């Protein structure tokens, strides 16, 4: 009886331990199987994601961040648009700054010194007939028809550079233009008023404002005699070119 009881106890112990061993073996098999299946499915998932990327239309923004974390072979793609936009914005800002730093060019504009028709235009390329001189010659100013005694006004703000009847401008202009007033302006320009009466309203060194009366039309020019060519103001504009002064067409600067 004692031997049988001991055999029964051993049999029960074996059955219990055997059950746990079999259970452990089954769990190991399940775990190994899960690992194998996971490894087999991972490449397929990467391949599927890569295929979806290839099928996206050109120019589409996309980011892959859910495929095999910590896998160095996993592609990661980001759109560069923000960087490009920032660069473009910076470039535009630099261009705007450069434009602000550029010096502003002043445009020289004048008002007509007397009201009247231009009877003889500026032309230093073609010859015009000079009745007074009985010859053909260039005309480096404009003649504005007006009565003797008509007030002559400064064409722009400036400083009186010369008041003379001595033909001090003979190197720049033809002689015989009579009583002359020269006003210097900013930007290298000068305006010259010829055939004036001798009683000038300003003197050398005076500061004048645009529209200020500086003299009156006279009959002092011997090159453009009033009795032959009518009373008028001979008006000239000079512009600095390098170290010299050249004549330019006054009508190009009239407002």
More reliable by pLDDT, 214 or 9? 214
pLDDT value of position 25: 83
**Superfamily per CATH, domain 118-252:** Glucose Permease (Domain IIA) (2.70.70.10)
pLDDT value of position 21: 78
Q: What is the torsion angle, in degrees rounded to the nearest 10, for the CA atoms of residue 193, residue 198, residue 203 and residue 209? A: -40
pLDDT value of position 65: 47
Query: What is the average per-residue pLDDT within 46-74?
Result: 50
Query: What is the average per-residue pLDDT within 237-255?
Result: 93
pLDDT value of position 91: 58
Taking only the tens place, the pLDDT of each residue in 64-75 is: 444 444 555 545
Domain spans, the chain: 2-78, 118-252
Task: Check residue 79 and report its DSSP letter.
Answer: -
Cα distances from 223 to residues 24, 59, 119, in angstroms, run 130, 79, 15
Structural contact between residues 199 and 219, judged by C-beta atoms closer than 8 angstroms:
no
Taking only the tens place, the pLDDT of each residue in 149-199 is: 999 999 999 999 999 987 777 677 888 999 999 999 999 999 999 999 999
pLDDT value of position 3: 47
More reliable by pLDDT, 247 or 172? 247
Taking only the tens place, the pLDDT of each residue in 191-227 is: 999 999 999 999 999 999 999 999 999 999 999 999 9
Q: Is the pLDDT of residue 246 over 60?
A: yes
pLDDT value of position 158: 98
Taking only the tens place, the pLDDT of each residue in 19-34 is: 677 777 878 887 777 7
Q: Is the pLDDT of residue 92 over 50?
A: yes
- Helix H or strand E encompassing 143: strand 142-145
| Cα gap 146→114, rounded to integer Å | 7
Put simply, whether the predicted model's pTM sits higher than 0.75 gets the answer no
| Cα gap 82→63, rounded to integer Å | 15
């Amino acid at each position: 009886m004692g031997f049988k009881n001991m055999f029964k106890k051993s049999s029960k112990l074996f059955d219990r331990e055997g059950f746990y061993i079999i259970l452990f073996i089954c769990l190991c098999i399940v775990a190994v199987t899960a690992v194998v299946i996971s490894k087999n499915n991972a490449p397929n998932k990467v391949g599927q994601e890569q295929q979806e990327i290839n099928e996206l239309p050109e120019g589409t923004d996309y980011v892959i961040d859910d495929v095999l974390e910590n896998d160095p072979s996993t592609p990661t793609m980001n759109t560069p648009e923000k960087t490009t936009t920032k660069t473009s914005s910076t470039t535009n800002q630099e261009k705007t700054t450069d434009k602000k730093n550029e010096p502003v060019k002043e445009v020289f504009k004048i008002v007509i010194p007397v009201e009247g028709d231009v009877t003889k235009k500026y032309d230093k390329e073609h010859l015009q007939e000079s009745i007074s001189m009985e010859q053909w010659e260039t005309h480096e100013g404009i003649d504005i028809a007006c009565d003797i005694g008509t007030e002559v006004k400064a064409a722009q703000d400036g400083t009186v550079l010369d008041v003379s009847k001595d033909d001090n401008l003979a190197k720049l202009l033809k002689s015989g233009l009579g009583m002359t007033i020269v006003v210097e302006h900013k930007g290298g320009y000068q305006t010259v008023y010829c055939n004036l009466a001798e009683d000038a309203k300003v003197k050398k060194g005076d500061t004048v404002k645009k529209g200020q009366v500086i003299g009156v039309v006279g009959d002092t020019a011997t090159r453009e005699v009033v009795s032959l060519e009518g009373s008028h103001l001979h008006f000239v504009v000079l512009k600095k070119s390098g170290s010299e002064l050249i004549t330019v067409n006054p009508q190009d600067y009239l407002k």
